[in-house]
Amino acid sequence: MAGTGFGLIGTGFMGRAHAIALASVAAVFDDIEAPRAACIADADEESAARAARALRFERACGDWRALVADSAVDVVDVCTPNHLHYEMALAALEAGKHVFCEKPLALTVAEAERLARAAQSAGVVHGVGLNYTTNPMIRTAREIVTSGEIGEVLHFSGRYFEDYMASPEAPFTWRCERRLAGSGALADLGSHLINMMHYLVGRPRVLAADTSTAIRERRRPDGVMQVVENEDVARAFIELESGVPATLEISRIATGRKCGLAFDLFGTRGALRFDQERMNELELFTGGEAPGRAGYRTLLAGPAHGDYARFCPAPGHGLGINDLKVIEMHDFIRAVERGERFYPDFDEGLAVQRVMQAIEDAAAEHCRVTLDWTAETS
C-alpha cells in the first residue's frame, strides 16, 4: 500500500531533522511502509521550492493552509516557531489530518487544552516532539525503575543546561519575546525535562518555583536594545503524586553546557544517572557490593537496548540526535498505520504545558501551586 503522506511546515533546523527522519525511517525499520514526503510549506513559494528540492519533497507551497488541504497529505508535521503551533495544529485537526507538532504544544494552557480536546474528538493520531525519551538508554532507565531493580524511588533531580544565551552579546531573537515564544528556557528546554520526569517517575502534585532573567536587554539586528520578556533560568521544587520529592533546574545561560539534559534518580536499592551530552551511556548503581567495590558502572548503548539494534549490531558505537528523530518518526508512523495511540501525544503536551504554567505562577506569586490531574482529557 502507499506510505503515509507527510506535509512538513517549516524548513529550519527542526524541519530538516524531520525530513532526514522521513527519508531514513523505512531503511531502519522494516515494520512500516516507507512514508511519502508529499508536500513542504515555507514562508513563500521560492523558499518552499528550494526546500523541496533540497529535502526531496514532491511538492512545495508558500501557504501552509494549502498543505493542510492537500489530499495527498495524511500527516501535518508542524516544525515552526512556537506561536504558530496552535493555529496550524488546530487547522490540521479540523481537516481530519493526523498531526505531529514540535514542542511546546502551544503558548498557553488554554491553547493546549483546546488542541488536546480537538485531537481526541478528531480521532486521529497526534504527537509532540519530545524526542529525548525515545533514546534507548532512557527507555532502559524506565525499565529499570518500573521493574523495581533499584527499589522504591526516593528522589529525582533533573537539569537541562545550555549556553546559547549565556553571552550578553547573543542577540535578541523571537525566543526572547513572549508573544512569539511564550516562556523562555522553560518552553525551549524545560518542556523536555518535564516530559523526562513524567516518563520516569510521574507527574507533580504540588510545587514551588522561582525564575529569573539574568541578561535583561539584548540587541536586535537593527542595533536597538530590547527588553527580554521571559526567563533565562527556572527552578522548581516538587512533590510528585507518589509523594516522592523532585527538583528541576533549567538554564539557557549555563556557560559551557551544550545539551546538558541530565538527571539523578535515587532508589532504595540503587540509583541511575544520565547526561544527554553522553547520550549513549547510562550509569547504574546497585547495592550489595563488597566493601570497597561499590560504585556506579557505565552501561554502554548496544543492541540489547531496544531500538539501538536497528541501527548497529555492535555495542559502544553510539547513536546520535537524528537517530532519535528516526525512532520517534517510526513510532508515530506505526501508530498511524495501526490506529494506535502515540506517546508523547497532545495529552502529554498539555500536561507539560500545565507544569510550565504552574512553575511560572509559583514564581510570580511566591507560593506553592497544587496541580489537579483529574480533569485531564483522557
What's the pTM?
Answer: 0.97
Question: How many of the other CB atoms lie within 10 Å of CB of 357?
Answer: 19
**pLDDT exceeds 70 at position 378:** no
Mean pLDDT of the chain: 97
Query: What is the reported pLDDT for 31?
Result: 97
| Residue 152 · residue 267 · CB < 8 Å | yes
Looking at domain 5-130, its CATH superfamily turns out to be NAD(P)-binding Rossmann-like Domain (3.40.50.720)
∠ CA(330), CA(336), CA(342), 5° rounding?
A: 70
Q: What is the pLDDT of residue 356?
A: 98
Superfamily of structural domain 133-343+352-364 = Dihydrodipicolinate Reductase; domain 2 (3.30.360.10)
- Pull the grid cell for residue 213: 532573567
Band the pLDDT of 134: cuts 50, 70, 90: very high
With pLDDT > 70 as the criterion, what percentage of the chain qualifies? 99
d(CA 159, CA 248): 6
pLDDT digits (tens, 9 = 90+) for 288-324: 888 888 899 999 999 999 999 999 999 999 999 999 9
Which pLDDT tens digit goes with each residue over 32-52? 999 999 999 999 999 999 999
How far are the Cα atoms of 190, 197, 309, 365 from residue 370, in angstroms, in the given order? 19, 17, 42, 13
What pLDDT is attached to residue 95? 98
The CA-atom distances, in angstroms, between 348 and each of 175, 199, 240, 244 are: 22, 10, 16, 20
Closest CA to 105 of 344, 332, 350: 350
HSE-up of residue 217 (Cα within 13 Å, Cβ side): 5
Cα 298-304-305 angle, rounded to 5 deg: 70
- What separation in angstroms does the CA of 213 have from each of 129, 192, 219, 363? 26, 20, 15, 12
Q: Please state the domain extents for the chain.
A: 5-130, 133-343+352-364
Q: 336 near 328, Cβ under 8 Å?
A: no
